[in-house]
Amino acid sequence: MLGFLPRNVSRRNQRLIPSPSKILLILFAVVLYLAFPFTTPKQPSFLDNPQLHETISYASLAELVDLYDQVKSEVLRHKGFNSTATAVKLRAPIHLPDGSDNFNPDLAKYVDRLRKFVDVYFKDTSQRIHTGARNALKDVLRRSPPQSRSDIFPTKVWSTHPFGLDGVEEGFDLWRKLLPLPLSKKTISRLSSRNDLEWLKPAIEGQEWEVIVTDDNGLDKWMSQWTSEVISRGIKGNGRWSQLWGGLEKGVLRADLFRYVSMFVTGGIYSDSDTMPVSHPFVWGVNAPSILNPDIETLTQLIKEASKTASSQTTSDRLNPRSDLPNHDIYTQHNNTNFANINLHSYTPPYYAHSRRAPVISLPAELPSTILNPEISIVVAIEWDSMIGRTLSMWKQWTWFRFNRSWPDCCFPRGLEMVQNLLVSKPFHPIMLDTLATVAELVDSSVANQLSPLDLTGPGPFTDAVLRYLLVQYGITPNDLRALRRPVRVGDVLILQEEAWHAPEKAIKKLLSHVNAFGAKIAENLNGKDPWLFGLGYEDWQSGGKKVSYHGLTGIVSEAISITSPMTRFYAKQYDLLCL
């Protein structure tokens, strides 16, 4: 047809038709733009009003707490948060067993539910544990870094196996061999440029770690000691803990409950018997930036300063948001924090809802975002994020396994799921308390027999407890944690990106070979060498960041290794059933 047009018109129209190379170039430009946006908008500031500066600088602690709640509500409203939609998107239960919303951001309802659990399950425990449980709720009410938990992280590693220490996987002994050793000078320089800091001493001088692997009889013994009840598997006694423990027929369910109780009562690290460190826990998440809304960050600092004097006063023992604040003059006097010195405009969070850009990693601060930081109370890691398989900029982590599960969003209890085979926590953290309360409610309810172990005691209820705490305490929604490329910090919670605790088998093999070369007396044979072969963690071009531990179940996910331990085979079967 072009032959019938005038020659000059035909050639002009031909020039308008893009060539295949131009089409490819345009497509490449679009892909590049989507994968690497050039700007990261700031989160809105609800306090960015000069008239508020003078008012807030003289606000009482109670007024600051009220303002914190108002700002958190505004932050969630701006994000368009909806409890039901969030639960549906995550494939989590919309309601808890008591009928309340699973992801209700109301602080009073959150605390009231956990208070009832504490009053029933901890009333006959030792004074230390009962007080710790109640203080866990007070820490939530303070809206500032926890005051009841120690600054020093517990140096214990807990694990369970039917055959005790004799049944653990090869390499588990790395916890005992390497954790007490001082870190290398190179690694310490990544934590801080100064060596005279108090918090850095355990890394410089080394620190003793106790590793406890308990068998089935040991589980009964420890649970009896902590609950002040006679606990025996398969036997429902008169106490609430005994009924709960006796109602869990499978050993894997009891092992799940034990890990939460051990972390809540003693803290430290819980590691499955086939889980091994690839780098020292002191360096996990070292450069994690905060993703809190700038207003929440600011108010947290102000409440912290205003609480310093108030913390020395006698406080009420009642557990509700208003009665927890004592009627002392200290709560109505002016605080001394200079609000004008806090520059709201200087804060640009690295992540926000719908953000695709990775944070800019800065030089280490005076306090890293690791367990060496007194304000870090708990470390969690993302085990599965279905959005990674749908996010173009995360193409390095795409695999056939991921596509098979990301697009139908199946095969894991949650679309965004937290690792449960490795727990890191100070004692008496609300997340552990919430997980225990949820498991107890599920076991007591009529739906327990309909749930798989993954949804009854496994990563399902644990993930929901983590997300509830972040939502209630900090206004962080699950969308804020999607497609993370690096660790991030949310207040007292350090969150590692997906697969941070799932290093490949080749990494642990190289580390084991490296460590075994030093012989039985590692400390004496180092000669200046670093026993931690990968320093801050294992990383390759396909990684989404540093991988700092290894788990035997990684082989199921990556289809790279075989299954050896009975517990791993059990969980693998559960994952297979979910995919049917």
Two tokens, residue 449: 């027999």
Does 25 have pLDDT greater than 80? no
CB 415 within 8 A of CB 90: yes
Return d(Cα 328, Cα 307) in angstroms, integer: 13
Mean pLDDT of 258-275: 97
Mean pLDDT of 472-484: 96
Confidence class for position 32, pLDDT limits 50, 70, 90: low
Confidence class for position 263, pLDDT limits 50, 70, 90: very high
Least confident stretch, 39-48, 64-73, 216-225? 39-48
Confidence class for position 42, pLDDT limits 50, 70, 90: low
Beta strands of 392-516 (E only): which ranges? Answer: 416-418, 422-425, 488-490, 493-496
Distance of CA 76 to the CA centre of its chain: 20
Mean pLDDT of 337-362: 38
What percent of the chain is predicted at pLDDT more than 70?
Answer: 78
Does 278 have pLDDT greater than 80? yes
How does DSSP classify residue 102? T
Q: Write phi, then psi, for 160 (nearest 5 degrees).
A: -135, 150
Mean pLDDT of 201-216: 95
439-459 pLDDT per residue, tens? 999 999 878 889 999 999 999
N- to C-terminal Cα separation, the chain: 56
Does 178 have pLDDT greater than 60? yes
Domain boundaries, the chain: 2-35
Mean pLDDT score of the chain: 82
Q: List, in order, residues 6 or more apart from 214 with CB less than 8 Å away.
A: 158, 159, 160, 164, 221, 222, 258
Q: Which of 140-144, 148-152, 367-371, 467-471 has the highest mean pLDDT?
A: 467-471
Query: What is the pLDDT, as a whole number, of residue 543?
Result: 75
Q: Write phi, then psi, for 355 (nearest 5 degrees).
A: -75, 145
Confidence class for position 272, pLDDT limits 50, 70, 90: very high
Return d(Cα 580, Cα 56) in angstroms, integer: 56
Query: What is the pLDDT, as a whole number, of residue 4?
Result: 42
CB 435 within 8 A of CB 114: no
CB 444 within 8 A of CB 41: no
Confidence class for position 196, pLDDT limits 50, 70, 90: confident
118-150 pLDDT per residue, tens? 999 999 999 999 999 999 999 999 887 787 888
Return d(Cα 552, Cα 46) in angstroms, integer: 46
CB 479 within 8 A of CB 437: no
Task: Please count the helices (runs of H) and the strands (runs of E) in the chain.
Answer: 22, 10
Two tokens, residue 565: 């331990």
Return d(Cα 129, Cα 133) in angstroms, integer: 6
